[in-house]
């Protein structure tokens, strides 16, 4: 139930964080009293959900978050794109869980979701994609909370909300603490060199067929985790829009010198295995790229795992960024 990032879909609506405890208490002997509930504000409104869910179905971006958080999952959507970023334990859990939806919203298996008998369904797709999902049908099975992506850097807040809805904050907070500790260590390691650099980033979503490239600024996919260790990305979108359109744009390749000519150093996205994706290769094969000051100075750095959208995945991204920036300490 996932749609690949694009400027059109990433303009999802910002979420409200509103958690209000309410509802009746269970009888001590577990008689006919209803389970405790609370009201949770999500993309699709204020939803009454179990205070302590016991059977959760997750889709889209909520899948890796809730696996990491140890939520009581009984079904998930396919999330193949995230497999390279999962650690061994999480990948094993992911493979074992019943798949009740595919990569796209149209591949939702409502019968399979009903069979899983969830008491909560967490939909982690951009708000515009909700129109491709029969939410009413899902609501007939269990309470539905939609908590989807907005700006790329918002994965921190959104993943917290997803884990909170599923009653899995304890393990979530532990993984978050690990990430923050590592980010702090790496920031200290590069504090004498990294904050001084004026950085630019070339992303992996450029439309090569149209002669465009993907220029990312601060708070975008390729830049937001590096910013946690002191990286400074300069510039801003010429014509800002919602979601990712506020932090990245698609100039023509002819605009490369204007876009990145002032950069002291340039970072760029690569695949999990280190290979260069076609949109980035298109830029690097250009004579305009070779003539950029940062490129001539040998200050270009490849980032793996730029699609990380959980704290656990972010730890791998931090390690990859650390390795990429290592040459800065020798200069």
Q: Output the domain CATH number for residue 40.
A: 3.40.50.1980
Distance CA 129, CA 236 (A): 27
Is 300 a member of any domain? yes
For the chain, the domain total comes to 2
Helix axes 169-189, 155-165, angle to 10 degrees: 160
Is 4 a member of any domain? no
Note the pLDDT tens digit of each residue in 267-276. 999 999 999 9
Domain termination site, one of 114, 146, 170: 170
Per the model's pLDDT, the better-predicted residue between 165 and 330 turns out to be 165
Least confident of 139-153, 199-213, 214-228, 261-275: 199-213
Is 7 a member of any domain? no
pLDDT at residue 206 in the model: 75
CB hemisphere CA count around 181 (13 angstroms): 7
Note the pLDDT tens digit of each residue in 10-28. 333 333 333 333 333 344 4
Distance CA 169, CA 161 (A): 9
Note the pLDDT tens digit of each residue in 137-168. 999 999 999 999 999 999 999 999 999 999 99
Is 2 a member of any domain? no
pLDDT at residue 6 in the model: 39
Is 287 a member of any domain? yes
Cβ atoms 125, 3 nearer than 8 A: yes
- Which is nearest to 248 in space by CA: 158, 317, 152? 152
pLDDT at residue 131 in the model: 87
Is 13 a member of any domain? no
Do 221 and 322 share a domain, yes or no? yes
Domain termination site, one of 110, 141, 170: 170
Average pLDDT for residues 308-326, to the nearest whole number?
98
Predicted confidence band of residue 106 (pLDDT cuts 50, 70, 90):
confident
Do 308 and 220 share a domain, yes or no? yes
Q: Per residue in 224-250, is it b (16+ CB within 10 Å) or e — as a string? A: bbbbbbbbebebebeeeebbbbbbbbb
Cβ atoms 44, 146 nearer than 8 A: yes
Is 1 a member of any domain? no
Distance CA 320, CA 302 (A): 9
Average pLDDT for residues 277-300, to the nearest whole number?
97
Cβ atoms 279, 214 nearer than 8 A: yes
Residue ranges making up the domain that contains 192: 183-330
Do 267 and 244 share a domain, yes or no? yes
Domain termination site, one of 123, 148, 170: 170
Do 129 and 235 share a domain, yes or no? no
Tokens standing for residue 194: 């990294």
Is 9 a member of any domain? no
Note the pLDDT tens digit of each residue in 54-104. 999 999 999 999 999 999 999 999 999 999 999 999 999 999 999 999 998
pLDDT at residue 34 in the model: 58
Do 189 and 166 share a domain, yes or no? no
- Taking the C-alpha atoms of 309, 302, 190 and 313 in order, what is their torsion angle to the nearest 10 degrees? 20
């Amino acid at each position: 139930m996932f749609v690949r990032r694009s400027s059109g879909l990433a303009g999802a609506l910002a979420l409200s964080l509103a958690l209000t405890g309410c509802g009746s208490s269970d009888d001590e002997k577990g008689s006919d009293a209803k389970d405790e509930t609370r009201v949770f504000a999500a993309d699709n409104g204020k939803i009454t959900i179990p205070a302590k869910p016991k059977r959760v179905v997750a889709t889209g971006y909520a899948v890796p978050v809730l696996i990491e958080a140890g939520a009581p999952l009984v079904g998930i959507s396919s999330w193949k794109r995230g497999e390279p970023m999962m650690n061994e334990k999480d990948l094993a859990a992911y493979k074992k869980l019943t798949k009740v939806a595919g990569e796209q919203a149209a591949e939702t298996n409502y019968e399979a979701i009903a069979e899983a008998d969830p008491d909560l369904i967490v939909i982690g797709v951009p708000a515009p994609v909700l129109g491709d999902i029969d939410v009413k049908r899902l609501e007939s099975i269990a309470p539905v909370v939609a908590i989807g992506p907005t700006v790329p850097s918002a994965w921190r807040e959104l993943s917290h909300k997803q884990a909170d809805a599923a009653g899995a904050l304890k393990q979530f907070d532990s993984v978050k603490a690990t990430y923050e500790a590592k980010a702090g260590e790496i920031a200290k390691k590069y504090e004498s060199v990294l904050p001084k650099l004026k950085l630019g980033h070339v992303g992996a979503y450029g439309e090569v067929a149209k002669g465009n490239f993907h220029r990312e600024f601060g708070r975008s996919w390729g830049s937001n985790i590096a910013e946690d260790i002191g990286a400074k990305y300069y510039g801003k979108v010429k014509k800002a829009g919602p979601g990712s359109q506020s932090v990245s744009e698609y100039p023509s390749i002819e605009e490369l010198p204007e876009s990145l000519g002032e950069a002291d150093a340039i970072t760029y996205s690569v695949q999990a295995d280190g290979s260069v994706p076609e949109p980035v290769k298109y830029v690097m094969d250009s004579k305009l790229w070779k003539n950029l000051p940062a490129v001539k100075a040998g200050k270009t750095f490849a980032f793996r795992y730029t699609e990380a959208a959980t704290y656990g995945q972010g730890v791998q991204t931090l390690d990859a960024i650390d390795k990429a920036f290592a040459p800065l300490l020798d200069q």
